[in-house]
Structure 1
Amino acid sequence: MFLRSRRRAVAAAASALALTLGLTACGDDSDPAEELSANRAGAMESYNVGDQFKATEPISFSMLYNNHPNYPLKNDWLFWQELTKRTNVTLEPSAVPLSDYEQKRSVLISAGDAPLIIPKTYHPQENAFVSSGAILPVSDYIDLMPNFKDKIAKWNMAPEINGLRQSDGKFYLLPGLHEKPWQDYSLVVRTDILQELGLQTPKTWDEVYTMLKAMKARYPDLYPFTDRYSQPKPTANLWNILGSSYGAPGGWGFNHATWDAAAGKYFYTAASPQWKAWVEYLNKLVSEKLLDPESFTQTDDQARSKLATGKSFVITGNAQALVNDYRPDLSKNPAAKLVKIPLPVGPAGEVNPAPRTENGVMISSKAKDNKNFVAMMQFIDWLFYSDSGQEFARWGIEGTTFTRDASGKPQLADDVNVIGLHPNAPKHLQKDFGFYNGIFAYGGKPELVQSFFSPEEQEYQAVVGARQPAPWVAPPPAPFTDEEREQATLWETTLRDYVDQQTLRFILGQRPLSEWDAYVNELKSKNMDQYMELQQKAYDRYKKEHG
């Protein structure tokens, strides 16, 4: 899609936007929004972009809640109180520990016991719940969501939204929306060690290798690089950012099929030369004792402990991990200086692998029969997609958690801390108030998304944000039918487990890379080719039916 002529791209985007903003799928003459006369209790009669949503009567909605250990749920948070005050809505969170969230969500949805609002869902996780009818085709109801529609139109996000569509032309996830891509995770490096060794900050993965070699030569008794984020998948972050730099993301960013814009078709990600190349890179790091082999199995606390005690100098992380975890961990060593370096460049070139969509919200199909359904959709639209709702979820209450400067820009109150901005403040925006919570506060304009960023993080974003979007981030739609999805899910589970297992064996040297071709043949025996035939068929069908 990225190689099409400008005229074709504009035409395609216009066509896609028309589909995106429509309420009905092709071939469906009914309008679900017109069938909601019995479901408007509490809804505003007139609700438009920029309006403050407030239900006309007190209402409540159940919600699945991903309980983050860094700021555990508190029922007396000011967030809940103020949300009810502003919207007349009370949320009833069903808290699930972060570590069990995905599994618990699946169990609840499959059993028909899920709360009405199901946030913190990353595409394509919703695919597993479409065929059962357990979640709502939210695209049928976006006329109830003026802020959502407005941002899609203003930010030209039709390609991203259409990438969420199923074979029926509908989408079942309300994603977080970013006006600009925001790439957060990279390598965090002890720059005092770089200075000691006379090294510059590495800009490429080849330079990262050179840096690690120098660290190992100076400190032969340690692994210079140890990593975290290995539960439940091995180094889900490292495989993602490194794989993205090679054009074949793994870990958190893994998709079985990756779009090749130049060839105009999909390829199986974990059987590609790009995948093999980054596996070879990690194998080299492990074999030369530059990367701790325990990185792929250890807990986050174990990885952090090694960094804190000087047993390693490099780890992956994001801005919050740098400020909330690593720097406090190293506070007893005042000489230690940690920096999140710009994502190193690999063979894929200077690309920004971050999408403009974020984790989002599924709605239980039970919700459409709720008398307050229209009010619920208006409420979700205000909280997650309006400028004022996004500011509220992130910043809190003016005069309590933030003030404004002369230009109107929010500033954190002096007695409130978050991400180390006011380290000596007695109160914490997340822990004590419930704002800037990953359930609600994501997406938006760059000035909002980056409003808490330190000067160093803004410098990071300036570097990575100047790079071209990765061509696989917004691929053309290739949705499966229900029958295809059922078959594909079985194949995906088997393939993904085998990919993770064998990739790790290659990296650790437990299986020689000379057996790569045998590994690819093993994937074929597990229906890789049939899966890709299904993917191509789905792409061709959708393109024919929807343009």
Structure 2
Amino acid sequence: MLRRYRRRAAMVAASVLSLTLALTACSSGEEPQKGEDLSAFRVGAMEKYGVGDQFKATESLKFSTMMLSNAAYPFKDDWLFLKELTKRTNITIDPVVIPGSDYNQKRGVLIGAGDAPFIIPKTYHPDENAFIASGAILPVSDYIDLMPNFKDKVARNKLEPELNQFRAADGKFYLLPGLHEKPWQDYTLAMRTDILQQLNLQMPKTWDEVYTTLKAMKTAYPDSYPLSDRFSKPTPGGNLINLVSIAYGTRGGWGYQPMTYDASTKKFVVTGAMPQYKQMLEFLAKLVKEGLLDPESFTQADDAARQKLANGKSFAISTNAQTLVNEYRPDLAKTIPAAKMSKILLPIGPTGEVNPASRLESGIMISKKARDSKNFVAMMQFIDWLWYSDAGQEFAKWGVEGVTYQKDSSGKFKLTPDVNVVGLNPAGTKHMQKDFGFYNGVFVYGGKPEIVQAFFSAEEQEFQKVMNARKPVAVDPPYPLTDEEREQVTLWETPLKDFVFAQSLRFILGQRPMTEWDAYLTELKGKNTQQFVDLVNKAADRYKTAHPS
């Protein structure tokens, strides 16, 4: 049950004047503090709002919201999602529509100019850090008592360690992340299973078996590159290097971080200097050297990789559930009708059977100016319901009963026959995302597995079942940086990342021999890595001292 924020009676008795000054400071726009009286900012809010309650504002309200327009389903102001949302909550979304390709840049411009809307979704940690020092975004951790569903999911699913990763040096977090009950590892490799059957091979379970499988394919088809990959723009080898690095206990590609926590020494170390990082590069370099991995994988556009697969010039490629169903299988059906393709379980390496997926994902920033709105509490209740309640998540994904879904005799949801999404109803004439605005990435993330996996095929659900049985990767200790430290790290981080990525690619492609590894380590030291890692460890120790477990 939502309780009003009030100063403790003892504090009021001790100093009515201090309370008056606090309220005056709050209304003048100074940094709000947890525990403040928000009674003047409850217009439109529900008096009683708790877990499981349907939120509905007590009067019609409108909240400005940054709206990423996905190229696959461009924004439409007549979507049923928007109309039904208003009907259910009494809230109208006032969209600031931005194409997905320009989203991050224009988001930064609007925030910097003080023109950002109240609600800023689709923000990936640590992007919010760029806006903390200016005071442009709200320390949302001060207000989670207004969000019973958010608090409940964090507590029930023991998400506090992950959430601590989002905390700044002041101990607060400025981004409300999407919350998953279970990790969701989507990306892996897909392979031509008809080729495996032809060669009497089983689905590979380890990276060593991936190597022997690709080698067998190369022997049978010497003119091929068995693995020709995609997802390399703007990060060369973004997915492939990430997946292999996970198996070796380090971070690369999409998952690269300049520092990685070493549990054995209980200290952060330079990622690009780790022995495990070298082993990961050696494995990929071997694939390239033996003609098993197309060297163009690290630079080619996705369409080029898809074309090679469709033309039978390759047999394996990076994938997620949607690209397998929506791209690879239709591509092959046109060119090689007998071809069959499936995801393989995330291959295992020296780290063993682990599930590397985080239970947190992109989330929401709140503009600082929203705090001065008389409707602030109602807005936080609305955000809590839409993004964090089971009912809100179900609505945003499935839509309206009888229009986009129906229930069978057991109460299970299924799409109506004329609605299609991710190829589940190929004959459907209406599209869940394009025509109705549901299952939109701006509003749909997190939740219980049955919500997250609602549109998963039976094979994908089996994939997730096996992955969820694996041990989650340990969460690194947080190391929140002060504004001064963050400014310094910004000067170091980009040149270091550019250097590590460039040299990693040279090692993988054989342009630089692994015998030069020691020389590379010396060059790394010239990129301020010692100062960098010392600063990170200092920040980690500082946080641990201030927040003992």
Question: Does the TM-score normalized on the shorter chain lie above 0.5?
Answer: yes
Identify which of 175, 179, 182 aligns with 1:180: 182
Matched with 1:348 is: 351
Query: Is it true that 1:442 corresponds to 2:445 in the alignment?
Result: yes
TM superposition shift of 1:33: 5.3
TM superposition shift of 1:371: 2.8
**Equivalent position SS for 1:215:** helix
Q: Which moved more, 1:197-206 or 1:268-277?
A: 268-277
Matched with 2:68 is: 66
* CA displacement, residues 346-395 of structure 1 (integer Å, 9 cap, x when unaligned): 11111000111111111122221223222211111001100100000111
TM superposition shift of 1:320: 0.9
Matched with 1:488 is: 489
Matched with 1:26 is: none
Matched with 2:323 is: 321
Using the size of structure 2 for normalisation, the TM-score is 0.91
CA distance in 2, matches of 1:351, 1:238: 17
CA distance in 2, matches of 1:424, 1:119: 33
Amino acid aligned to 2:457: S
Structure 1 residues 220 and 107, CA gap change in structure 2 (3 angstroms): farther
Identify which of 383, 393, 409 aligns with 2:386: 383
TM superposition shift of 1:30: 7.4
CA distance in 2, matches of 1:491, 1:80: 44
CA distance in 2, matches of 1:258, 1:386: 34
**Equivalent position SS for 2:64:** strand
CA distance in 2, matches of 1:59, 1:518: 62
**Equivalent position SS for 1:330:** helix
Matched with 1:10 is: none
Task: Check whether the contact 1:44–1:55 (CA below 8 A) recurs between aligned residues.
Answer: yes
TM superposition shift of 1:61: 2.1
Task: Check whether the contact 1:72–1:431 (CA below 8 A) recurs between aligned residues.
Answer: yes
Alignment of 1:111-510 (within 5 A): 111-332=113-334, 333-471=336-474, 474-510=475-511
Matched with 1:541 is: 542
Task: Check whether the contact 1:33–1:143 (CA below 8 A) recurs between aligned residues.
Answer: no
Matched with 2:41 is: 39
**Equivalent position SS for 1:34:** coil
CA distance in 1, matches of 2:341, 2:454: 22
Matched with 1:3 is: none
TM superposition shift of 1:104: 2.9
CA distance in 2, matches of 1:251, 1:106: 24
Amino acid aligned to 1:78: L
CA distance in 1, matches of 2:67, 2:311: 35
CA distance in 2, matches of 1:205, 1:93: 46
Amino acid aligned to 2:449: P
TM superposition shift of 1:132: 2.1
Task: Check whether the contact 1:128–1:489 (CA below 8 A) recurs between aligned residues.
Answer: no
Amino acid aligned to 2:427: N
Amino acid aligned to 2:210: V
TM superposition shift of 1:35: 4.3
Structure 1 residues 136 and 407, CA gap change in structure 2 (3 angstroms): same
Amino acid aligned to 1:442: Y
Q: Percent identity?
A: 66
Amino acid aligned to 2:293: L
**Equivalent position SS for 1:176:** strand
* CA displacement, residues 276-320 of structure 1 (integer Å, 9 cap, x when unaligned): 111111111122222122221222222222212222111111111
Using the size of structure 1 for normalisation, the TM-score is 0.91
TM superposition shift of 1:83: 1.1
Matched with 1:12 is: none
Q: Which runs of 5 or more residues in structure 1 are unaligned?
A: 1-28
* CA displacement, residues 330-353 of structure 1 (integer Å, 9 cap, x when unaligned): 221221101011000011111000
Matched with 2:14 is: none
* CA displacement, residues 391-421 of structure 1 (integer Å, 9 cap, x when unaligned): 0011111111111233322122122111222
Structure 1 residues 349 and 161, CA gap change in structure 2 (3 angstroms): same
TM superposition shift of 1:125: 2.1
Task: Check whether the contact 1:235–1:296 (CA below 8 A) recurs between aligned residues.
Answer: yes
Matched with 2:3 is: none
* CA displacement, residues 417-456 of structure 1 (integer Å, 9 cap, x when unaligned): 1122211121221222111111111111112112221110
TM superposition shift of 1:272: 0.8
CA distance in 2, matches of 1:416, 1:299: 31
**Equivalent position SS for 1:389:** helix
**Equivalent position SS for 1:433:** coil
Amino acid aligned to 1:389: G
RMSD: 1.8
Matched with 2:529 is: 528
CA distance in 2, matches of 1:363, 1:464: 34
**Equivalent position SS for 2:121:** strand
**Equivalent position SS for 1:344:** coil
CA distance in 2, matches of 1:65, 1:33: 31
CA distance in 1, matches of 2:479, 2:108: 24
**Equivalent position SS for 1:502:** helix
CA distance in 2, matches of 1:110, 1:481: 20
CA distance in 2, matches of 1:276, 1:363: 41
TM superposition shift of 1:82: 0.9
CA distance in 2, matches of 1:232, 1:104: 18
**Equivalent position SS for 1:66:** strand
Task: Check whether the contact 1:148–1:386 (CA below 8 A) recurs between aligned residues.
Answer: yes
Query: How many residue pairs get matched?
Result: 518
TM superposition shift of 1:63: 2.1
CA distance in 1, matches of 2:304, 2:69: 22
* CA displacement, residues 20-41 of structure 1 (integer Å, 9 cap, x when unaligned): xxxxxxxxx9744524344323
Amino acid aligned to 2:501: D
Matched with 1:8 is: none
Matched with 1:21 is: none
Structure 1 residues 99 and 347, CA gap change in structure 2 (3 angstroms): farther
**Radius of gyration: which is bigger?**
2
Structure 1 residues 104 and 222, CA gap change in structure 2 (3 angstroms): farther
TM superposition shift of 1:520: 2.0
Task: Check whether the contact 1:123–1:164 (CA below 8 A) recurs between aligned residues.
Answer: yes
Amino acid aligned to 1:279: L
